[in-house]
Amino acid sequence: MFSQLGDKLQEIFKDLRGHGKISEANVDAALRQVRLALLEADVDFEVAKKFIARIRDKALGEAVLRSITPGQQIVKIFYDELSILLGGDAAPLNLGEPHRILIVGLNGSGKTTSAAKLARLLKKQGRSPNLVALDLQRPAAIEQLATLGKQIDVPVFTPEASEKNVQRVAESALQDRQSGSIDIFDTAGRQEIDVALIEELAQLKRFLNPQETLLVVDAATGQQAVSVATRFDEALEITGIILTKLDGDARGGAALSMRAITGKPIVLIGTGEKIDALEPFHPERIAGRILGMGDVVTLVERAAETADQDEAERLARKFEKGNFDLDDLAAQLRQLRRMGGMSSMLGMLPGIGKIKKQIDAANIDEAIIKRQEAIIGSMTRSERKNPKLLNASRRRRIATGSGTSVPDINRLLKQYQDMAGMMKKMKKLGQKGLMRHGLSALMPGGGRH
Ligand SMILES: Nc1nc2c(ncn2[C@@H]2O[C@H](COP(=O)(O)OP(=O)(O)OP(=O)(O)O)[C@@H](O)[C@H]2O)c(=O)[nH]1
Ligand SMILES: [Mg+2]
C-alpha cells in the first residue's frame, strides 16, 4: 500500500534532514522531487501542483528555515498537508435513518466483497446488518453474496432466480426487513458507465432514498478511478467512496487525488481479499503510514479485535507512557502472528519499513517472526526489561541459545530501538499532538470510531 510513493518521499526527506541548514534552493530541489514522485504515483497534475505550492508557501513563509530543526518542520508541514489532501478528518459512515446503504460501481471493482466486509464490520460494532442482493445481471452474483453472508453469519435477502426487476426485489426486501437493521444493497456493475446502468441505479436510488450511496472503485486504476467517481457523482450524487485493492496499489494516486477532485470523502478502504480486510479511512493515519511514521493506532485497534482487551489496554498504556521493552515487542510479535496478514500489519509499525521490505521480498514472514520470538525467548527476564544489558558476550549466548546469529540479534535490537524511539517522539508531542495523530483512541474513554 503506497509503498512506492512512501519510499520515494522518505528518501527525499532523509536527504533534506541531512542538511544542518536548509536554504530556499534545498527546499525547491526537494519539492521538485516530490512533485515527480507524485506524478509517478499517478496523482492528478493540478492536484500535485497546488499541493506543492501550499507546502512551499508554508515552508518558506514561517520561520521554518531559520529554526533549529528545519528538516523536521518541513516533514511536519508535509504530513499536515498530506492529511488534508487525503480528506482531513475521517468521514465516519452515516448509519442514521433510513438505515440504507446503496453500493454502486463498475464490474469487478469489489462491490459484493465490500458489501459483505462492511456487514461484518457493522456486526462487530454490535449493529444488525442485512445484505440485499440486487445484482440480477450476473447469474452467480446472488449466490456469491449468499455464500459470503453465511460465512459472516449475516442474513442475506435473495430474489428468485427468474426475477429480473430490481425495484421489485428492493421492495420485497424492505417489507421483509427487521426493525433496527441496517440494509446494505449490492447492485450490478457494468464494464463502463452507460445510460442503462445509470438509469437503473438512479431509479433504485430514488426508490430507496438511502442515507449513504457508496461508490466502490479499484485503487489500482489510479486516475481512472477518480474520473469514474466524478462521473458517478454527476449522475447519482454519491455520498462517499470505498477504495478497494489498496493492498495491490503501490502508487496511491487514486487515494491522493480523490478528495481534491471529487470533493467526496473516502469512507472505507479495502486492503485485501479476506473478509476482514476493510478499514475505516483515517487520512492522518494513512499520511503517517505513507511517511513511514507508522500507524500504531490502527495496529492497536486491530490487536484489540483479535486479542483480549486486557492485553490491548496494557499495550496502549505502554505506548502512551513511551516505555516499551522487549517483552512488549515479543507480545506484539505473537499478536502479529495471530492476526495474520503479517506484511500489512508490519507496515503500520513505526520504523520497520526496511524489515518489511525484506519480508516482502523473501515472503518468509512467519519464519522471521518465529526466529525473533526465539531470540527474545532466549533472553533473561532482566535482559528483556533492560535491553542495554545486551553486550557482545550476552548476544553470542543468545544467538547460540536461539539457533540464530549475532547479526540476527543486532537486527532485532535495531528494530526495537527504532520502535522505542518512535514511542518517545509520540510522547513528546504531548496530549494535543497525540490527539492530532488520532491516538485519542488509546486514551481511557478516548474516541474510537
Ligand atoms: N486484493 C484485493 N482484492 C479485492 C479487494 N476487494 C475485492 N477484491 C477482489 O476483487 C474481485 C472482484 O470482487 P467483487 O466483490 O466480486 O466485485 P464486484 O464489483 O461485485 O463485481 P461484479 O459483481 O462482477 O460487478 C474478487 O476477486 C475480490 O476478492 C481488495 O480490497 N483487495
Ligand atoms: Mg458483485
* pLDDT score at 372: 87
Contact (CB, 8 A) for 103 and 111 = yes
CATH tag, 100-293? 3.40.50.300
Q: Which pLDDT belongs to residue 101? A: 98
| pLDDT beyond 90 at 171 | yes
Q: What is the CB neighbour count within 10 angstroms for residue 410?
A: 13
CA–CA distance, 250 with 359 (Å, rounded to integer): 16
CATH 3.40.50.300 domain span(s) along the chain: 100-293
Question: Residue 272 gets which letter from DSSP?
Answer: S
At residue 33, the pLDDT reads: 94
Q: Is the pLDDT of residue 307 over 70?
A: no
User: Which of 238-242, 246-250, 328-332, 411-415 is modeled with the greatest confidence?
Assistant: 238-242
Closest ligand to C-alpha of residue 116 is 1
pLDDT, position 437: 45
* Long-range contacts formed by 318-325: CB under 8 A, 24+ apart: 318/423, 319/423, 319/426, 319/439, 319/442, 320/427, 320/434, 320/439, 320/442, 320/443, 321/427, 322/420, 322/423, 322/424, 322/426, 322/427, 323/423, 324/419, 324/420, 324/423, 325/384, 325/385, 325/386, 325/387
Per DSSP, 325 falls in state -
Atom number, ligand 1, closest to the C-alpha of residue 109: 19
Average pLDDT, the chain: 84
Q: Ligand 1 centre and the CA of 245: distance in Å?
A: 8
Please report the atom of ligand 1 found closest to the CA of residue 116: 15
- Residue 278 is predicted with a pLDDT of 96
Segment 60-86 shows an average pLDDT of 83
* CATH 1.20.120.140 residue spans of the chain: 3-85
Predicted local confidence at residue 435, as pLDDT: 44
Judged against a pLDDT cut of 80, whether residue 445 lies above it is answered with: no
If one compares 15 and 312, the residue with the highest pLDDT of the two is 15
- Ligand 1: nearest atom to the Cα of 106: 25
State in Å: Cα 138 to ligand 2 middle.
8
Q: Are strands 240-244 and 181-187 parallel, antiparallel or unpaired?
A: unpaired
**Whose C-alpha lies nearest to ligand 1, atom 30?**
245
Nearest-ligand number for the alpha carbon of 138: 1
Q: From the CA of 187, how far away is ligand 2's center (Å)?
A: 7
In sequence order, what are the residues at sequence separation of 6 or more whose Cβ sits closer than 8 angstroms to the Cβ of residue 2?
41, 246, 249, 250, 251, 252, 255, 286, 289, 290
Give me ligand 1 centre to Cα 241, in Å. 15
Q: Nearest C-alpha to atom 6 of ligand 1 is from which residue?
A: 110
> How far is the centre of ligand 1, averaged over its atoms, from the C-alpha of 111 (Å)?
6
Please give the Cα distance from 10 to 424 (Å, whole number).
20
Residue that the C-alpha cell 487515494 belongs to: 255
Whether the per-residue pLDDT at 443 is higher than 50: the answer is: no
pLDDT for residue 405: 93
Atom of ligand 1 nearest to the CA of 216: 19
Work out which ligand 1 atom sits closest to the CA atom of 248. Answer: 1
More confident site: 254 or 73: 254
How many A from CA of 213 to the centre of ligand 2?
A: 16
**Hey, what's the cell of 102?**
446503496
pLDDT: is 122 or 301 the higher one? 122
Q: What percent of the chain has pLDDT over 90?
A: 52
- Helix %, strand %, coil % of the chain (to 5): 60, 10, 30
What does the block give as the cell for 73?
A: 518542520
* Segment 106-123, tens digit of pLDDT: 999 999 999 999 999 999
User: Residue 448 pLDDT > 60, yes or no?
Assistant: no
The residue behind cell 461484518 is: 120
Q: What is the mean pLDDT of residues 410-433?
A: 71
**Strand order in 100-105's β-sheet?**
156-157, 128-134, 181-187, 100-105, 212-218, 240-244, 266-270, 278-280
Atom of ligand 1 nearest to the CA of 271: 31
For residues 297 and 127, which has the higher predicted lDDT (pLDDT)?
Answer: 127
Q: Report which protein residue has its CA nearest ligand 1's atom 17.
A: 110
Cα 410 to Cα 400: distance, rounded to the nearest angstrom: 14
The predicted pLDDT at position 431 comes to 46
Q: Is 253 left (phi over 0), alpha (psi -120 to 50) or beta?
A: alpha
Q: Which of 113, 166, 274 to mutate to test the pocket of ligand 1 (most atoms within 8 A of CB)?
A: 113
238 CA to centre of ligand 2 in angstroms: 18
Residue 438 banded pLDDT, cuts 50, 70, 90: very low
β-bridge mates for residue 269, sequence order: 243, 279
Q: How confident is residue 371, by pLDDT bands cut at 50, 70 and 90?
A: confident
pLDDT tens-digit series, residues 139-165: 799 999 999 999 999 999 999 888 889
Q: Kindly report which listed range (10-19, 69-78, 157-166, 432-441) carries the lowest average pLDDT score.
A: 432-441
Ligand nearest to the CA of 189: 1
Pairing of strands 266-270, 278-280: antiparallel
Find the 92 Cα to ligand 1 centroid distance in Å. 23
Output the pLDDT for position 1. Answer: 81
Q: Look at residues 300, 321, 292, 301 and name the one whose alpha carbon lies nearest to residue 430.
A: 321
* Nearest residue (CA) to ligand 1, atom 21: 108
Ligand 1 environment, Cβ below 6 A: 105, 107-113, 135, 138, 141, 189, 216, 244-245, 247-248, 270-273, 277
**Does 98 sit behind a cis peptide bond, omega within 30 degrees of 0 on the bond before it?**
yes
CA angle 23, 26, 30 (to 5 degrees): 145
Q: Check: CB of residue 138 under 8 Å from CB of residue 179.
A: no
Confidence of residue 265 (pLDDT cuts 50, 70, 90): very high
- Residue 243: closest CA among 231, 233, 229: 229
Instruction: Please report which confidence band the pLDDT of residue 432 belongs to, taking 50, 70 and 90 as the band edges.
Output: very low
Task: Give distance in angstroms: CA of 251 to centre of ligand 1.
Answer: 19
Instruction: Give, in words, the CATH class of 299-442.
Output: mainly alpha
Least confident of 1-5, 194-198, 438-442: 438-442
Closest protein CA for atom 10 of ligand 1: 110
3-class DSSP string for 20-70:
CCCCHHHHHHHHHHHHHHHHHCCCCHHHHHHHHHHHHHHHHHCCCCCCCCH
Query: What CATH superfamily classification does 3-85 receive?
Result: SRP54, nucleotide-binding domain (1.20.120.140)
pLDDT in the model for residue 441 = 36
Identify which of 148, 215, 273 to mutate to test ligand 1's pocket (most ligand atoms within 8 A of the CB): 273
- What are the counts of helices (DSSP H) followed by strands (DSSP E) for the chain? 20, 8
Q: How far apart are CA 174 and CA 300, in angstroms?
A: 38
Centre of ligand 2 to C-alpha 249, Å, is: 21
